[in-house]
Amino acid sequence: MSANGRGKPWNPYIAGALAGLLLVLSVWITGKYFGASTTFVRAAGMVEKTVAAERVAAMPYFMKEKPKVDWQWMFVVGIAVGSLAASLGSGTFRVQAVPDRFAARFGPSVGRRFGVAFAGGVVAMFGARLADGCPSGHGLSGSLQLAASGYVALVCFFIGGVIVARLLYCKNGGASAGSAGR
């Protein structure tokens, strides 16, 4: 147990190495690369099919990418189940509507946290669809293939994440250089 009474989280280097090994095994055994954003679009198509099946059938995107449960859909479910299992196994699982760092910066409002998370998800999904893939598809799978675009994508994801984190969580809109990691 750590000083805060919770379990010790996984070492990020070990978790990263295991994710890399899983990606290599996925390609070696099934020939499939990691990716997740298409799953959310297909899931939306499956939901919409229950209401307006003829509309979904007429959409050019869904003519090419049928809304169905496939290996990638199960991969996304596996991410959720694996994350839950890892947090339960390490003793770090907890239900928290508003993370401490968010509450310290923006207040304890669950509605505000939900709104920001939803808006962030919309922006992330728009970017993933615009780029024709998500960070796991472009970054992880692209770098495994030694594609220069995969490495450029990873660098851009990290730079974008650092900039947004500094803008959101550093006092004075990012002016404090040492406070990003606190």
Confirm whether 57 is domain-assigned.
Answer: yes
What pLDDT is recorded for position 139? 83
Q: At residue 136, what are phi and psi to the nearest 5 degrees?
A: -70, -35
Confirm whether 91 is domain-assigned.
Answer: yes
156, two tokens: 């851009």
What pLDDT is recorded for position 124? 86
Confirm whether 182 is domain-assigned.
Answer: no
Confirm whether 90 is domain-assigned.
Answer: yes
Above 90 in pLDDT, residue 2?
Answer: no
Contacts of 57 (CB under 8 A, 6+ apart): 63
Q: What DSSP state is assigned to residue 172?
A: G
Confirm whether 112 is domain-assigned.
Answer: no
Number of domains in the chain: 1
For residue 164, give Cα distances in angstroms to 71, 159, 161, 169, 171.
32, 9, 5, 8, 13
Confirm whether 181 is domain-assigned.
Answer: no
92 contacts 8 by C-beta, under 8 angstroms:
yes
Confirm whether 107 is domain-assigned.
Answer: no
Vertex 60: Cα angle to 57 and 142 (nearest 5): 120
Q: How far apart are CA 115 and CA 113, in angstroms?
A: 5
Confirm whether 133 is domain-assigned.
Answer: no
- How much is the pTM? 0.72
Q: What is the pLDDT of residues 20-59, one digit of tens each?
A: 898 899 889 888 888 888 888 889 899 999 999 999 999 9
What pLDDT is recorded for position 178? 43
Q: At residue 97, what are phi and psi to the nearest 5 degrees?
A: -70, -35
First to last CA, the chain: 21
Q: What is the pLDDT of residues 94-113, one digit of tens each?
A: 899 999 989 998 899 999 99
For residue 40, give its domain range.
Answer: 1-95
